[in-house]
Structure formats: C-alpha cells, structure tokens
Amino acid sequence: MKTELTINGTQHKLELDPRTTLLDALRHHLGLTGSKKGCDHGQCGACTVMVNGRRINSCLTLACMHDGDEITTIEGIGQPDNLSPLQQAFISQDGFQCGYCTPGQICSATAMLEEIAEGWPSHATEDINDRPSLTVDEIAERMSGNLCRCAAYPNIVEAIRKTAEESA
C-alpha cells in the first residue's frame, strides 16, 4: 500500500504491507530504531512518537492510517551532539538505566509538557477549572503510560520537572 509520511520534517514515500504498524514502518523500513518495541500492544509506551503533535503508541496504529501525517520520533528531537534540554536532563538526572524505554519516555514527556501548557487536566489535577501545575503527582500521573522496569521513575520526574522549570 502506498503511504506518504512526513517524519522529522522529511517526506517518505513508502509501499507497505497494509498490516505494517507505524512502529514497524519506522524500525524495519526506515531504519529509525529509536522508537522501541516493548510489547507491541500499547501497554508499555516504549514506542511513543508524536503524530501531528500528539503522543501516541506507534505500535497500536497502522502506517497506512497516517498518510499525510507529520510524525516526530526521538531522532527528530535531538542528536547526541545536539540534545534537547529534556534529553540533557534525562542524562544529568540519570532518568534511565538500560535505556530501552527512554526514547518513548522523552517523546511522551515532550508532548506531555505541551498538554500541560495547553491546560489539559489529568486524574491528578486538584481542580480541573484551574490550570494544571507541574507537581510531582501531575508528572507521575501523566507519565504512567511509559513503563520503566529499571524504575528510573523518581529521576524521570525530576528530569521533567527541572526542564520545565528552566524553560519557564
């Protein structure tokens, strides 16, 4: 099936098996292995990418459903010699150990900070009429779709909190 995807600003014309997930299109067909396959069932968040600015599990959607969409993967967020502030904070705070969930965490957190800036409430929001603030509870709640078995959670929260504080 012919599918056109704009990934990290570059247009790709692909001819894919219609069963190909967006994640497998990235990993198997475009060599973009930064997005990870942890469960292939939308249960772990390791494959999180942004589609038209919103975070989604790329394993739970077929590539052919995204004809014309703008996709941002971890490769579009920063490179080893040009890290985003969040990527740098993950390093400084030791927000990872094995590193396998990390690209998903960072994609997720990047989009999550936008969601907070736009005022979206969460389960942890005290008053949904107020703008949500970046408390530990808010961050932990909003990042709970991204599992980390090494359990860098406290450091992930710290990395996100510090990044947001510094950019504010």
Partner 1 sequence: MTEVFKMDAPATDRRLDDMVQGLVGAPLDRPEGPLKVTGQATYANEWQVENMAHGVMVRAPGPSGRVVLSNRDDVAAMPGVLAVIQDERLLRNPAQGKANEAPVQGPHHAAYMGQLIAVVVAETFEQARHAAQSVKVTLENAEVVAVTSDTAAVEPQESKTLDQGDLETAMREAAHTVDATYTTPSHSSTPMEPHASIATWEGEDLILRGSYQMLKYNRNELADSLGIHPDRVRMLAPYVGGGFGSKLGIAPEAVAAAIAAREVGRPVSVALHRQQVYEATMRRSDTRQRIRLAADAEGRLIGLGHDALVSNLPGETFAEPVLQASHFLYAGANRKMSMDLARVHRLCCGSVRAPGEAVGVTVFESAMDELAQQIGMDPVELRRRNIPDKDPESGKPFSSRRFEDALDSGAKIFGWADRPGVKERREGEWLIGYGMASAARVNVLMESQARVTLTPQGTARVETDMTDIGTGTYAILGQIAGDMLGLPRDAVEVVLGDTSLPPAAGSGGSWGASSSGTSVYLACQAIRQQLAERLEVSENDLTLKDGRATFDNQTRGLADILQNDEIVKLGHVEAGETSEAVRQATFGAYFAEVAVHAATGETRVRRMHGTFAAGRILNAKTARSQCLGGMTFGIGMALTEELAFDPRDGHVANHNLAEYHIPVNADVPQLTVELLEERDDWANPMQAKGIGELGICGAGAAILNAIYNATGVRVRDYPATLDKVIAGM
Can you give the binding site for partner 1, defined by CB under 8 A?
Answer: 17, 19-20, 24, 27-28, 31-41, 43-44, 46, 73-75, 77-81, 83, 87-88, 90-92, 94, 96-103, 106, 124, 136-137, 139-141, 143-158
Which CB sits closer to partner 1, 70 or 100?
100
The number of C-alpha atoms within 13 Å of 64 and in the hemisphere containing its C-beta is: 8
* Number of residues assigned to the chain: 168
Which CB sits closer to partner 1, 6 or 8?
8
What are the backbone dihedrals phi and psi of residue 49, each rounded to the nearest 5 degrees, phi first?
-135, 170
Which CB sits closer to partner 1, 6 or 33?
33
Nearest Cα residue to 52 out of 138, 117, 114, 141 = 114
Least distance between partner 1 and beta carbon 68 (Å): 22
Q: Which residues have a Cβ under 8 Å from the Cβ of 50 and sit 6 or more positions away?
A: 56, 71, 72, 73, 107, 110, 111
Q: Output the furthest CA–CA distance in the chain (Å, rounded).
A: 48
Least distance between partner 1 and beta carbon 70 (Å): 18
Least distance between partner 1 and beta carbon 124 (Å): 8
Continuous segment of H or E residues that includes residue 56:
strand 54-57
Least distance between partner 1 and beta carbon 149 (Å): 5
Which CB sits closer to partner 1, 11 or 79?
79
Which CB sits closer to partner 1, 5 or 101?
101
Torsion of CA 122, 127, 129, 131, to 10 degrees: -70
Least distance between partner 1 and beta carbon 90 (Å): 5
